[in-house]
Amino acid sequence: MDRREPSNAIGLGAAVLGISVGCILLASCATTLRIQSDFLPEGSLRVAQVVYVVTRDRTLETKVLYDALLASGVEDAEIKDGSVVLARVFCCGRPNESEVELMLYAPPAIGAGKGDIVEVRSGRAPAKGDSGRLNTVMRIRQKNGDGATTCNWVPPNPQLWARVLYCDWMPGEGWIEQGGINKAWFKPAASS
């Protein structure tokens, strides 16, 4: 689960945009930021594992990310080390694992750290002149290293690289499984 800082060659800017070469060519995709996109419907809840905590300096250096935070109502004073994190939703060793990591706004009061399993409200890209909605950490569901393990990567075969997070409490709280290419356990917006 070790994660190094994104290389300077690629930079956080590339991670922020998180769009494929094909999408860059399409005007409708060009303004979608990774912090505002997900494979699930807007407002639904999902879980993800934090793999990288972004510093305030890196956030400020990445103007498009900084501007998106401000446009969404986050005050400059609220942007601290850890206000933005990268989190994985598939495990482990997938060839394009880092390309499908989610970028999340983590309010400072939550204190999300590397290895934590967090609950995330899915965002959306800007539409009809608004600023969109950020993927936002709502709470920590499993703190890294606290010993209580209710969330695991399934199926439990470590040889597979497209495993998803499943937590024992999900069925009892109304979470459902999405199949297909972007498998996930999530709680639809209407019930969250």
Give residue-wise pLDDT tens across range 16-37.
433 332 232 223 344 568 888 8
φ/ψ (deg, to 5) at 28: -70, -25
Contacts of 156 (CB under 8 A, 6+ apart): none
Q: What is the mean pLDDT of the chain?
A: 82
pLDDT at residue 29 in the model: 40
DSSP 8-state code for residue 89: S
- Residue boundaries of the structural domains of the chain: 11-191
DSSP string across 101-165: PEEEE--TTT---TT-EEEEE--B---TTS--B--EEEEEEE-TTSS---EEEESS-TT-S-BEE
Q: Are 58 and 8 contacting, i.e. CB atoms less than 8 angstroms apart?
A: no
The secondary element (H helix, E strand) that includes residue 23 is helix 21-24
Give the range among 35-49, 53-67, 114-128 with minimum mean pLDDT. 35-49
Q: Which residue has the tokens 């639809």?
A: 188
User: Tens digit of pLDDT for each residue in 54-67?
Assistant: 999 999 999 999 99
Answer positive or negative: Cα dihedral of 118, 89, 76, 129. Answer: negative
Q: Which of 146, 143, 141 is nearest to 167 (CA)?
A: 141
**CA end-to-end span of the chain:** 30
